[in-house]
């Protein structure tokens, strides 16, 4: 169990990594960031991600005011980091959270030749 700022950080992480529809009683809770995993990270996509994150926080995390949402792209490694700077309303303290945004499953797979179809 955590309190105060740590609770907000964990809540943000849960909010941003939960897919809409995963929570039965709150079907709209979450952020559909997975839909951008294989998208080209151009300016249009970055704007869409910022809007999606901003809206999710606006509706489901009323304890903070978002100051800035940034996206840092590490192109050779295929990793984008989502950084959110925010102010806690109750204490007026500033904080930030950085969430890596990448698809890392299957990175150590070796290519296998498919068996020819049986007739």
Q: Which pLDDT tens digit goes with each residue over 55-113?
A: 999 999 999 999 999 999 887 777 788 999 999 999 999 999 998 876 555 444 444 44
**pTM, full prediction:** 0.78
pLDDT band (50, 70, 90) for residue 16: very high
- 116, part of any domain: no
| pLDDT recorded at residue 86 | 96
Q: Which of 40, 17, 43, 42 is nearest to 30 (CA)?
A: 17
What is the number of other CB atoms lying within 10 angstroms of the CB of residue 31?
Answer: 22
Range of 81's domain? Answer: 4-101
What is the number of other CB atoms lying within 10 angstroms of the CB of residue 113?
Answer: 5
- 31, part of any domain: yes
Domain count, the chain: 1
CA distance 22 to 29: 8
- 114, part of any domain: no
- 117, part of any domain: no
Read off the CATH number of the domain in which 61 is found: 3.10.450.40
- 106, part of any domain: no
β-bridge mates for residue 100, sequence order? 81
Are the CB atoms for 86 and 13 separated by under 8 Å?
Answer: no
Q: Which is more confidently placed, 19 or 111? A: 19
């Amino acid at each position: 169990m955590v309190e105060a700022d740590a609770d907000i950080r964990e809540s943000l992480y849960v909010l941003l990594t939960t897919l809409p529809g995963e929570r039965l009683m709150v079907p709209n809770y979450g952020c559909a960031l997975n839909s951008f995993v294989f998208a080209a990270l151009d300016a249009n996509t970055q704007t869409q991600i910022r809007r999606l994150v901003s809206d999710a926080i606006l509706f489901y995390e009323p304890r903070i005011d978002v100051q800035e949402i940034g996206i840092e792209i590490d192109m050779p490694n295929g990793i984008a980091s989502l950084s959110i700077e925010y102010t806690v309303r109750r204490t007026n303290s500033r904080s930030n959270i950085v969430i890596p945004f990448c698809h890392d499953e299957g990175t150590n797979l070796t290519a296998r030749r498919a068996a020819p179809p049986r007739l």
